[in-house]
Amino acid sequence: MSTLRTLPGIREQARHALVLLGAPATQRTVVEVHTALFDGDLSVPALAAVLREEERQYDPDALTAYRICPALHHDLSAARGLVTLGGWPVARRLASPLQARRDALAAVVRIAEFVVIRASAGATALDLLRRLADTVPGGPEAFLVHDPRALADAARTALAELAPAPAPEAAVARWERLDERQRLFGILSLPHQRGRA
């Protein structure tokens, strides 16, 4: 007996959330955003399984519109626990503390505006916005009346006050010399070894 699946697959569900987030995110964040705003059955274990499968079953000749990949550190090793879309430019896939704050605020703006566009925001969407509001200066006050527009404005203001992140020119130049598999899944980082006395 076969069953008809009407929900998108796990990869597609993860892609929906990542497109909305627009930047590297933890697996938990991807799942929380998808659960609050889209239909599906995305879970952290299912997303982790997709990440493992993408790397283990990588075929350079397979035609695919996108891949779910790890984010990259500036040394181009995989930033385990953070996911991105493989088709994003490398500068957008890099994870750093300076860029993470900018990405988080920009994601709050996008998510809040997405909720505004949707005709009705469910309780899970409002819970997500309430949690996000706690990460934005002035966010809890802005979201007191459950107004996603006010939260988006607060996040936009906080984003404008941040110093721009430095351009990752060296990482981009190095990334361009890697093969496709390394570009997608990162390079192996070698542990630092102590010199002999």
Nearest residue to 107 (alpha-carbon basis) of 29, 43, 14, 12: 29
150 residue type, one letter: A
Assigned token pair, 15: 């892609």
The verdict on pTM exceeding 0.85 is yes
CA distance 162 to 193: 37
- What pLDDT does 196 receive? 47
Please say whether the beta carbons of 42 and 30 come within 8 A.
yes
Task: Supply the DSSP symbol for 37.
Answer: H
- What pLDDT does 143 receive? 84
Nearest residue to 44 (alpha-carbon basis) of 52, 57, 123, 22: 52
- What pLDDT does 37 receive? 93
CA distance 51 to 48: 5
Task: Supply the DSSP symbol for 186.
Answer: -
Which residues of the chain register pLDDT less than 50? Answer: 1, 193, 196-197
Assigned token pair, 136: 């934005």
On the CB side of 11, how many CA atoms lie within 13 Å of its CA? 13
Contacts 24+ apart (CB under 8 A), 151-160: 151/108, 151/112, 152/108, 152/109, 152/112, 152/113, 152/116, 155/105, 155/106, 155/108, 155/109, 155/112, 156/105, 156/109, 158/105, 159/102, 159/105, 159/106, 159/109
Tens digit of pLDDT for each residue in 51-67?
999 999 998 888 788 89
User: Which residues contact residue 13 at a Cβ distance below 8 angstroms, ignoring those fewer than 6 apart?
Assistant: 7, 34, 38, 40, 41, 42
